[in-house]
Amino acid sequence: MNVQTPIRLTAAEESLAAQLESVGAGDAAVRFREAGLPTRRVEAYHYTDLKVLLSEVPPLAEAVAGTGAPVFDIPGAYRIVVANGVMQNAGTAPAGVITGKVGGSTLTMRDDTVVRLNSALVKEAVNIELAGSVDPVIHIDRRTDGDAAHVATGSKITVAPGARATVIETVATSDAGHMGNLGTYVALGEGAEVTHIVVDLSATQATQFSTLEYRIDANAKLMSIVIQAGANLARAQIFANFVGEGAHGDFFGLNLIDTDQHRDITLDVTHGVPNTTSTELFKQIGRGHGKGVFQGKITVAKDAQKTDAKMMSQGLMLSEGAEILTKPELVIFADDVVCGHGATCGDLDETWMFYLMSRGIPKAEAETILIRAFLEEIVDAVEDEALGEALSGIVDGWLAQGA
């Protein structure tokens, strides 16, 4: 009963193991062959059973020159293009910004298959150091071109004490079954203020994994926004760690789900020191037979007294086949804290619809008004006007697709 028998690997798992071996990550390959991809029995992947969902893994990407217009254009932004995982020459960096490359993955090793794959497969990552008040939005424009490819990439963003900056990372691909594995590490120095946005705009055949890791030092202020509007199978996992007192984090997320897409946002916030605060607001909207997953865990360590954390997750289902799966979680070891979570899911409120329609607004338009109001709460959080408008464009695009 307790003898461990070797597991049967799926075709996708075989491909991944072979890829690990091909880059010389023998130990990782052995370990991967033992455990395989996570199934629903792994709590963090309860709703995203990768063994079942990931049926194919494309070959590792080959370098191509990334040129052409950005898929996602932010007027006035300083753009760094990463094509098939390789950083291209960027223009002159604005004041307070140093860009370069750093070897290997930037993520902290943890017991997570996606992170382990990223650690073994990333050859080089974008390195950005920020100091002072950085004016233009920094846009890391990641693209995967050509035939279906598996691209493992990363970024390391180090924000000096007291610095202010906005960084957005977008992922876009050509129309093919690409697979992306992005790992970003953001360290906020004391008193730094950072807005960090990750947007997935991959092709609908693609698979995208994004892991974001935040280290938030004393009195720093982070705003993190994740928008998933691309890949057929997407999972964004966010690990945030408060390491200095007086720090604050606002975490926002938006899952725009359509047809048979499966989109997962998994958040893991740890309040490790006293007097830190956070808010979390995650919204999911489902159409067709789409499946939206939100898992949000807030951990308050024993010493983290006076923590204040409030998490809200809302799901809106617009069609019969849509599914919204939510798991907000609190793990609390300190007694003088204010922590809470709320979760709702349902369809458009009949009374609101009645209100609008009774004022002569046609049904379709009333629906759009309510849906837009639901979604824009996330986008409205962005201060930079041009960036906010660009993000609104994603919401508009999604609405237009369903019209």
Partner 1 sequence: MSDFDIPTLKENIDRETVESVLALDVDKYKYGFETIIESDKAPKGLSEDTIRFISAKKNEPEWMLEWRLEAFRRWQTMEEPTWARVSYPEIPYQDTYYYAAPKGATGPKSLDEVDPELLKTYEKLGIPLSEQKILAGVVEDGEGAEQLASPYSGNVAVDAVFDSVSVVTTFREELAKHGIIFCSISEAIREHPELIKKYLGSVVPVSDNFFATLNSAVFTDGSFVYIPKGVRCPMELSTYFRINEKNTGQFERTLIIAEEGSYVSYLEGCTAPMRDEHQLHAAVVELVALDEAEIKYSTVQNWYPGDKNGKGGVYNFVTKRGDCRGKNSKISWTQVETGSAITWKYPSCILKGDGSRGEFYSIAISNGHQQIDSGTKMLHLGKNTSSRIISKGIAAGFSDNTYRGRVFAHPKATNARNFTQCDSLLIGDTCGAHTVPYIESRNATAVFEHEATTSKISDDQMFYCLQRGLSEEEAVALIVNGFVRDVLQHLPMEFMVETQKLIGISLEGSVG
Tell me if 46 contacts partner 1 by CB under 8 A.
yes
Q: Is 160 in the site for partner 1 (CB under 8 A)?
A: no
The angle formed by the CA atoms of residues 378, 383 and 387, to the nearest 5 degrees, is 80
Structure tokens at 50: 């990768």
In this structure, is the dihedral angle defined by the CA atoms of residues 87, 265, 233 and 391, taken in order, positive or negative? Answer: negative
| Closer residue to partner 1 in complex, CB, 123/310 | 310
Count of residues of this chain found to bind partner 1 when the rule CB under 8 A is applied: 39
Neighbours of 153 (CB within 10 A): 30
Looking at residue 388, the DSSP 8-state letter turns out to be H
Distance CA 110, CA 119 (A): 10
CB of 249 to partner 1, least distance (A): 17
Which residue, 180 or 328, has its beta carbon nearer to partner 1? 328
Quote the CA–CA distance of 109 and 104 in Å, as a whole number: 12
Strand partners, 269: 240, 298
From 121-129, 175-183, 310-318, 377-385, span contacting partner 1 (CB under 8 A): 310-318
User: What's the closest the beta carbon of residue 118 comes to partner 1, in angstroms?
Assistant: 26
355 binds partner 1, rule: CB under 8 A: no
DSSP helix/strand/coil, 375: helix
Q: Which is nearer to partner 1, 71 or 325 (CB)?
A: 325
- x/- contact string, 311-350, with partner 1 (CB under 8 A)? ----x-xxxxxxxxxxxxxxxxxxxxxxxxxxxxxxx---
| Residue number with CB closer to partner 1 (123 or 327) | 327
Asked if 280 contacts 287 with a C-beta cutoff of 8 angstroms, the reply is: no
Element (H, E) at 323: strand 323-332
Cβ-based nearer residue to partner 1, 84 or 295: 295
259 binds partner 1 (CB under 8 A): no
CB of 292 to partner 1, least distance (A): 10
Nearest distance from residue 372's CB to partner 1, in Å? 18
Contact flags string 277-306 toward partner 1, x per CB under 8 A:
-------------------------x--x-
Residue written as token pair 């993190």? 224
Bridge pairing between strands 97-103 and 124-130? antiparallel
User: What does the block give as tokens for 190?
Assistant: 């004391």
Contact between 69 and partner 1 (CB under 8 A)?
no
Give helix then strand counts, H and E, for the chain: 7, 19
How far is residue 48's CA from residue 264's CA, in Å, rounded to a whole number?
7
- For tokens 């809106």, name the residue: 316
Nearer to partner 1, 68 or 333 (CB): 333
Residues 207-246 that bind partner 1 (CB under 8 A): none
Q: Segment 161-190, which members bind partner 1 (CB under 8 A)? A: none
| Residue 274 found at the interface with partner 1 (CB under 8 A) | no
Residue 44 φ/ψ, nearest 5 degrees: -65, -15
Where on the chain is the footprint of partner 1 (CB under 8 A)? Answer: 1-2, 43, 46, 302, 305, 310, 315, 317-347
